[in-house]
Chain A
């Protein structure tokens, strides 16, 4: 008996070592290219071409200044943040309302509604450019950040609903029944009972939506024509033209646009952590 536990502990130990080794190796794999990018953002063009791994001879903060000048980095990052925040909030609210019905009610037509949303996961974006541009033209909605947000909401909706429904389905209905007996209506059941339980998936999807909206290019290019409203990806295009090879400021811009994302992630990350905990307890 005692021997068995000892053996078990031993396997657990080697298991832990493997776990740590794997964790560290993959962390290196993801950090290393990011590290090179940050390093490159401080080098001169020639240094980058000469040796990707070397430390910069002189730390060129001017790359950041010129990135800011070329792409108007601060404003574009602000625009992207604004659009991404609105999209995330709108998407979560609209998505969870629909997901609640799809998961909790059992009308026959809901199966078709679900399929209807599934189509959205599958639509190739480039098919929709001309029709959506038609709508924007008809509504005079070009250079309108709100319109851009609605488009993003539409394109992220399917995946959000898909994930929410999948998650809600895995939550037992005993909770609902208990709540209904307590006199909860649909609204309260969703927001007071299910919403907290769904936090892990909501936070996860929120991050996905945020990233998608923050870095989207195609629609922001077609629908936003005034450089006041440029988003990060759109501004990035200014760098990659045929006749310029400003690779260093390009890296600087990447780093700059990336920092707000990390900050947002860290904020959300705490939410996820909390959500996960509550999910674990209640589930």
Chain B
């Protein structure tokens, strides 16, 4: 019954669209969702079919947003920039935003509603979507965090626009697209601007002092830590106050132990978070903690502090994302970076076969919403997002903050660490995003991040695994 209703409605919508009734199309998709979707799978499929149908219809339309005429379109975007003149990326963004508004005066005006802190950002975005007052574009990181917006049919498929502007699409490195593509959906539902992978930074002086080579395998790393410790040098000041840090490492270690298949296996249930394979990973982490190689106060240290301790020579290693290349030159203490004492290498492998497998990919990704938006607004938003993500634009951004981007940056920033990181990334053989991203359970990311913190408070590896599975079940 519901299915019939859904099909009837979606066909009605297609008819409505064909008759060229532009502004009513979004209204129609809104009603469609509210009447047809009742939570059961059939209706949901019908809705996404309807969304698909809507796009095919649009394909006959005009996608040349750069040559469209706009008249006083007001746009709101919710990103996570930290505010004017705070860091390189934000400075660039706000300049670019002002420039866009100036160029399009009287045509398009974009208001930025960035909130930098993650939980507050989520709170605002969630509330706005729940009230139907969604921003025209927002920032997310793909995977399970975006799936619900996609299932509800509120994300714009950019494919026809990329067909219109092939250079725009080709400007992005292939591996970074994973945040925008989903199984069961054909389109490309966003565009990433940053990319990253996990790396291990090390202090050359401290390694020399203890007579340690740069570790290649996890066993090498454990040996190195023992030697450093014996020489009175703290190997890590590992932090997990920002609870993504353990989860990133866990994902990376699992990929380097079992290859990229582990992501799919965990998602479809052939492998579980309390299974033998994953528990082995937690155990490896716990061994490091128990041996004191990761330092004290793990849960009271945030990543910024960990980095600044590394920069002041208080730790030999620092495992974190490639974005730190930019941080090392912007932090208050740059002496180690200036002396080129900081080195960078891959995170040590657990199984040699997966030495070149990495956790990473596209990161910050712009998504455009269709919820209660007119066609004119959508087109204007595309124009703005395109303005932010062309290779030229990202070149400028990279100049002001040298780190790894999703786009094929063509400039040389002269940052020696970034050059090395790029070399490492060029040799990758397969990469995956954070493992919880592939879970169909929306709560996976947060529960796993929370549960892993227990490792630092002395929980056993097996208990952490069970805790993850229990919590995920509770929030299914």
Contact = CB atoms under 8 A, between A and B. Distances in A.
- Direct A–B contact in the complex, CB atoms closer than 8 angstroms: yes
Contact of A129 (B83, B127, B242, B304): B127
Contacts of A221: 115, 120, 123-124
Interface in B106-137: 111, 113, 115-118, 120, 123-124, 127-128, 130-133
B308 A222 contact: no
B82 A238 contact: yes
Given A45-B332, A242-B118, A243-B87, A226 B111 contact: yes
Contacts, number: 76
A245 B242 CA distance: 13
Contacts of A188: none
Q: Select the residue from B115, B123, B127, B323 with max chain A CB neighbours within 10 A.
A: B127
A70 B86 contact: yes
A244 interface: yes
Interface stretch (A13-21, A34-42, A130-138): A130-138
A134 B128 CA distance: 9
A134 B131 contact: yes
Nearest to B242: A242
B55 interface: no
A46 B334 CA distance: 13
B115 A242 contact: no
B130 A130 contact: yes
B128 to A, nearest CB: 7
A224 to B, nearest CB: 10
A225 interface: yes
A80 interface: no
A44 B332 contact: yes
A134 B132 CA distance: 8
Contacts of A222: 123-124, 127
A137 B305 CA distance: 40
A241 interface: yes
B305 A129 contact: no
Given A134-B131, A245-B302, A46 B332 contact: yes
Contact of A237 (B120, B127, B304): B120
Q: Select the residue from A129, A222, A225, A226 with max chain B CB neighbours within 10 A.
A: A225
B333 interface: yes
B87 A133 contact: no
Interface in A60-96: 69-71
A140 to B, nearest CB: 10
B24 interface: no
A240 B117 contact: yes
Contact of A243 (B127, B327, B333): B327
Given A133-B128, A221-B123, A69 B117 contact: no
A46 B80 CA distance: 27
A59 interface: no
A133 B332 contact: no
B394 interface: no
A225 B111 contact: yes
Contacts of A225: 76, 111, 113
B303 interface: yes
Interface in A108-163: 129-130, 133-134, 136-137, 142
A240 B82 CA distance: 9
Contacts of B170: none
Contact of B127 (A49, A133, A240, A242): A133
Interface string A224-244: 011000000000011011111
A22 B166 CA distance: 75
B213 interface: no
Contacts of B131: 130, 133-134, 136-137
Contacts of A240: 116-117
B219 interface: no
Contacts of B120: 221, 237
B148 to A, nearest CB: 15
Contacts of A69: 85
Nearest to A143: B111
A243 B332 CA distance: 13
Interface in A193-251: 218, 221-222, 225-226, 237-238, 240-245
A237 B117 contact: yes
Contact of A242 (B85, B117, B308): B117
B117 A241 contact: yes
A241 B116 contact: yes
A129 B120 CA distance: 13
Interface in B209-265: 242
Contacts of B327: 243
A237 B332 contact: no
A87 B305 CA distance: 39
B241 to A, nearest CB: 11
A245 B124 contact: no
A70 B85 contact: yes
A71 B128 CA distance: 24
22 contacts: A46-B332, A49-B305, A129-B123, A130-B130, A133-B127, A133-B128, A134-B132, A142-B133, A218-B123, A221-B123, A221-B124, A222-B124, A226-B113, A237-B120, A238-B82, A238-B83, A238-B116, A240-B116, A242-B118, A242-B302, A245-B304, A245-B305
Interface of A: 44-46, 49, 69-71, 129-130, 133-134, 136-137, 142, 218, 221-222, 225-226, 237-238, 240-245
Given A130-B131, A133-B131, 19 more contacts: A45-B332, A49-B308, A130-B130, A133-B127, A133-B128, A134-B132, A137-B132, A222-B124, A237-B117, A238-B82, A241-B116, A241-B117, A242-B117, A242-B118, A242-B304, A243-B323, A244-B82, A244-B87, A244-B304
8 closest cross-chain pairs (CB), A and B: A241-B116, A245-B304, A137-B133, A238-B83, A225-B113, A133-B131, A130-B130, A241-B82
